[in-house]
Amino acid sequence: MTTHSKIQEKWKQGYLPGMDCITHGNGTITVGNTYVLMDGETKESKRYWFPLCDTILENFEKYDADIWSEIDIFHGAFEYENQKFVFGDGAMGNEGYVASTKLNGELNWAIFFTFSNPIHKAEVIDEHLICYGDTGAIIAINLKNITDIKIKFDSSQLYQNVNRLRIEFVHL
């Protein structure tokens, strides 16, 4: 099985590599480096994501065949310029992803985030795919260069989700 066909088959089965990376439908994987810096004076932190290197699936599987994380696609997928954007969560709960597919469902690319919690909403604004995570992560992906990713956190989003969960819990 070729790398391209293995990635496409795993996508159809509901799996992506469970690491900060961009999985391209052609078989290439762009490994992402993500880290947080905190300002010692203001105590404000900022998360960064940048591409580290390009590789292929076989280079990961050489050392660990179990790199796959099960994913769920949430409601809210939408079409934009002859592609479909889907998003959701990974198997561990602290993960999220967004993917671009052809209209027939074949994977163009998917970006997996280990820090975002589920991506529950996405929209396109000025050639950027804006993704919203449950913990307040707001991720902007430049659609002209998908390795150009900016991240910020909106704590009010986190509090809205906590209040929503409290309401759901009370009604159980």
Task: Give the pLDDT confidence of 36-49 residue by residue, as tens digits.
Answer: 888 888 888 889 99
In order, the DSSP letters of 129-167 are EEEEETTSEEEEEETTSTT-EEEEE-HHHHHHHHHHHHH
Residue 151 resides in a domain: no
Residue 118 resides in a domain: yes
Count the domains in the chain: 1
Residue 71 resides in a domain: yes
Residue range(s) defining the domain that contains residue 61: 3-124
Instruction: Give me the pLDDT at residue 46, please.
Output: 87
Q: What pLDDT digit, counting tens, does each position of 6-18 carry?
A: 999 999 999 999 9
Instruction: Give me the pLDDT at residue 24, please.
Output: 97
**Which pair of tokens denotes residue 7?**
């990635």
Residue 109 resides in a domain: yes
Q: Where are the alpha helices (DSSP H) in the chain?
A: 3-13, 57-61, 155-170
Query: How high does pLDDT run on average in the chain?
Result: 88
Instruction: Give me the pLDDT at residue 4, please.
Output: 76
Quick one: average pLDDT of 153-167?
52
Task: Please tell me which residue, 105 or 134, carries the higher pLDDT value.
Answer: 105
Residue 156 resides in a domain: no
**Separation in Å, CA 44 to CA 37, 133, 152:** 8, 19, 11
How many other CB atoms sit within 10 Å of the CB of residue 52?
Answer: 14
Residue 14 resides in a domain: yes
Residue 167 resides in a domain: no
Residue 168 resides in a domain: no
